[in-house]
Amino acid sequence: MKSANKSILILIIFLLILFGFLYFTSNKESEEILDSKVENNIEQDYQDFVRNIKMQISDLSPEPAVLGGAWQVSRVWFALDDHAYVEYEDGHAMRRILVKQINDNDFEVLAFFEPGEDDWVLVSGEDTMFGQALDLY
């Protein structure tokens, strides 16, 4: 009888270990899938943001392009999901704006910059994202 109790106890311990392993393994896979979906959604949001900025850059720029040219977005630096520094140029002049996304297609220009000797110089508005970590897209 004592041997049967030991065998049952060993079987129960083995099953608990097996179920624990399966539980934690399946949770890890679920977390990885969820993380992947979140990353894909963020990536899609960034792509939509950049596409909309590119289509609207001439309207968002506080000044017209030089010599009848057209503004072209060269870089976008995200400070937050809905705030970004947008660098753009027309072949003659470079400019930078800080924008906040109001909704999918609407943006508010918070600050306007021109190139300085070593960095961008604030011309108008307020640089509310100064010092934030930036993510180049």
Q: Higher model confidence: residue 10 or residue 26? A: 10
Kindly list the distances between the CA atom of residue 75 and the CA atoms of 33, 98, 129, 134, in Å, as whole numbers in the listed order: 30, 12, 16, 12
pLDDT tens-digit readout, 51-80: 999 999 999 999 999 887 899 999 999 998
Q: How far is CA 58 from CA 63, 73, 118, in A?
A: 8, 10, 26
- Classify residue 102 by burial, with Cβ atoms within 10 Å: 0-12, 13-18, 19+: exposed
What's the Rg (C-alpha) of the chain? 27
CA atoms within 13 A on the CB side of 83: 13
Domain ranges of the chain: 2-136
Segment 96-131, tens digit of pLDDT? 999 999 988 899 999 999 999 999 999 999 999 999
pTM of the model: 0.70
Give me the helices (H) in the chain, please.
2-60
